[in-house]
Every structure is written in structure tokens, then in C-alpha cells.
Amino acid sequence: MLEGVYRFWFFFPVLVVLLPFGGGLLARLMTQAANPLRDYSLTPMVSVLLPVYNEGRHVLDTIESILACDWPAERLEIVAVDDRSGDDSWHWLQVAATRWPALRIHRNEVNSGKHVSLSRALGWSRGDILICIDSDCIFDRRVIRELVACFADPKVGAVGGNIGITNVNENVLTMGQAMVYYMSFQFGKMLQNLSGHLFCISGCLFAVRRPLFEQVEHEIKSRSWFGLGVRDGEDRYMTHAIMMRGWKTILNPHASCWTAAPARLSQFFSQQVRWRRSGLRDLFWTWRRMPQHIQIIGMLPLLTALVPETFTAVWAFLLMADIVSTGIAEATRTLLAAMMTFSGLFVVAALVYNLTCDRLAPGSVKIKTPVLAVVAGAWFFVDALLITLVALLTFDVGVWGTREKTTAAGTTEPQA
């Protein structure tokens, strides 16, 4: 019996993939989870809040894609805040401001972080609906209309969308990320979408009612972890804070934007560690306030997020204990079998991606060589062992994640 328990923990990542994604697929096929209530006649004033850090000339493409959306020009504004970029981002924002009257630009006095930049953009905005984004996002033409239409449900407080990858075939790393993004936004989040309790809306595309953002703004800025200020994970925290106020948080998979995935291992690892820190803080916060969560959210929606997150947090430690118990040789054989099974799921995911992306997320770039997903799966399996441990040891670190730049002297510039 104990041997079976040991083997279970080796294969735990396989279950983490199969259960939410398989359940989400069934929810999508058998329910209206992917089709929340929408009213396309709604045309409130919309403010896109654009925090900018080390984005360079690409910020022009982002702004242009926003202004090209199917949305009345007089009901749209963009408020961009440069967080003291170390490159020429501020110059390109100035160029954009002379080109597009709907854009207003500001610059932080010192590098302060994305959450502070969003807060300041809020103060300069006029919209009833706020869309918080990343500065490298490219909007689909209908994304604003799809997001805003979901606020027809008076109980919806915040809405997210589908995040697609532009550089899918740059290397195996970006291919793996493209599949994970797609499977997560199109299937994995559908179980939470059923109940209207999405635990994390991506900061790439986060639409929220203005009064709610104003309510949680100070709470987001004043976050701390055992006295240490928190400068990352504002999207997950804001989603959770809105949900705990009794509002629905949902995803509309028909609202799409596009971003480039980290192509270098160092960038990818930094991003994943930052996301895991955010997830662990959220997990500990949930456990600490369990009675309130049960009362407001309910047990079943809570379990869809709490169970996989909890076991993911302790998986690395349980796996090390199992290796000690079973011995190195036996553990290695079991670990390799689990890794290959996990890699096989990535190949299946690649095929599902290629077969369905044109219909579910028009504009997606197909994977050229799905068989290479085996390599991506193996890396993601190993990566999961390291990220939790690193995240637990680096809660005092806060960075923009994939936009760090190194000076000529070899030191890292101040980051958010």
C-alpha cells in the first residue's frame, strides 16, 4: 500500500493536468461555461490602463491595436504610465501621444512597480470600465466589446480573457507556454467559470468596474508578507479581493489579446517563480481566512482552486520524502515514467491546440512540429520541482519578471 502512495506522488503532476483540463473540457462541451451572459449594446466609457516598463518601440503596436478595436472612439481613452524605464520607452510614449489624442501619458518619479503605476493611471482615468493590461499586449479587434458585454450581468465585478502567444514556434520553450496558456484559458478555467469564482484573472487583460478598483486599490498597494512589501501578483490579489466582496469574477474566452512568451530560460524561470510566489501567498491567505471563504464562495468552488494549489505547494517536499523511502534507483525509474507520461500529455495538448485553435481562438499561430512537445513537457515537469522551492525562499524579491535589463557595469537596474 505504501508503495502505491509513493508512486502516486511521482505522478501527481499528471493528475494536476488531467483533472482540471479534462473537467474543464467537459464543462465547455456540456454547459455554457464558455459563454457568459453578454449584452453587446453596452457602451460605457472605457479606460485602458497601460503600465509601461522597458517595452521600447513595441508600445506603439500595443496602443495602435487598442485604438483599432471595434469600439466608439469617443468612449475610449488610454492612460499610459512609464515606470522609469531603463530604455527608450518614454520617448516612444511621447511619440505616440503626438500621434493619438486618445492617449495620455505620465511618468513615475522613481521606479515603483506595476501595481503603483496602475494606481496612478486610475487617478488620471475617467472610464466606468477599466481594462488593465501589460504593455506588450496586442488587442484583437473585438476584445473591448467582448469584455464590456459581460458586465450586463450586474453580479460580475471583473472579467478576463484569452491570452494568446505570438512567438509560438520560436523554440521549444515558447511552444510549451503556448499550449499551457491555450489549455488554461480555453479549458482549464471553465470549472471555476461555471460558478463565477475565477481565482486569478491575468494582468494581461483585466476588465473591472471602476468602483471596485477604487475599493481595493489601497489594499493592493499596502500588501506585505511578514512585514516585507509585496510588489508582484497584483492581478491574482485583485481578483481574489473582488471575489471576497461577493462579486463574480469570470473569463470570456472569446475576448483575446496576444503577447510574446519568454524565449530565454532565465526570463521564463523568473516569470514562473514570480507567478508561484503570488500563488503561494494567495494560498496561505485562503487557508488563513477559510471560514470567510466558505461563507462567501462556497465549498465546491473553493475546492477547485484550493486542492490542486495546496498539493502543488507541498509536492516537492513529498517527492523528496518518497525518494528517501523508495531508494534512488527505484525513485529514478518511477520519476522517469512519470516524466514521460507528462510529456505525452503535452503532445496530446499540442494536437488539440492545432485542431481547435482556429475555431476557439482565431488568430492563433499553429505549432509546426507537435512532436517537440515531448521536450517541452519534460522541461515543465522538472521545472515544477524547482519553482516552488525557489519561490518559498524569495518572497522578499519583487521584479517586473521578464523585462529586467542589465547595465554596462553588469548590475541590474532597479526593478518593480
How confident is the model at residue 403, as a pLDDT?
53
Cβ contact 200:306 at 8 Å = no
Once rounded to an integer, what is the mean pLDDT over residues 222-243?
81
The pLDDT, as a whole number, for residue 262 is: 94
Q: How many separate domains does the chain show? A: 1
Phi, psi (rounded to 5 degrees) for 4: -65, -40
* E strand intervals along 263-373: none
289 domain residue, yes or no: yes
Classify residue 67: in a domain, yes or no: no
Per-residue pLDDT reduced to its tens digit, 346-378:
999 999 999 999 999 999 999 999 999 999 888
* Average pLDDT value for residue range 259-284: 89
Say if CB 33 and CB 190 are below 8 A apart: yes
Across 365-402, b (16+ Cβ under 10 Å) vs e yields eebeebebbbbbbbbbbebbeebbeebeeeeebbbbbb
pTM of full prediction above 0.85: yes
**∠158-206-229 over CA atoms, to 5°?**
100
Per-residue model confidence (pLDDT) at position 409: 35
110 domain residue, yes or no: no
Q: Is the Cβ–Cβ distance between 126 and 77 less than 8 Å? A: yes
Question: Is 276 a member of any domain?
Answer: yes
Domain-embedded: residue 61:
no
What average pLDDT does range 140-145 have in this prediction? 97
Q: Report the pLDDT value the prediction gives residue 412, as an integer from 0 to 100.
A: 38
CB atoms within 10 A of CB 288: 9
Q: What is the pLDDT of residues 112-141, one digit of tens each?
A: 888 889 999 999 999 999 999 998 999 999
* Confidence at residue 2, expressed as pLDDT on a 0 to 100 scale: 46
Question: Residue 316 belongs to what domain range?
Answer: 1-44+128-397
How many C-beta atoms lie closer than 10 Å to residue 222's C-beta?
9
- In this predicted structure, the answer to whether residue 322 has a pLDDT above a threshold of 60 is yes
Query: For the ranges 195-199, 288-292, 409-413, which has the lowest average pLDDT?
Result: 409-413
Over residues 288-310, the pLDDT tens digits come to 899 999 999 988 888 888 888 88
Average pLDDT over residues 181-191: 94
Helices (H) and strands (E) in the chain, counts: 15, 10
Percent of the chain at pLDDT > 90 equals 60
State yes or no: pLDDT of 397 exceeds 70. Answer: no
260 closest CA partner among 111, 398, 365, 103: 365
Whether 36 maps to a domain, the answer reads: yes
pLDDT at 115: 85
- Say how far apart CA 406 and CA 318 lie, in whole Å: 37
Is 50 inside a domain boundary?
no
What mean pLDDT value characterizes the chain?
87
**pLDDT, position 395:** 65
Q: Is residue 52 a part of any domain in this protein?
A: no
> How far apart, in whole angstroms, are the C-alpha atoms of residue 104 and residue 100?
9
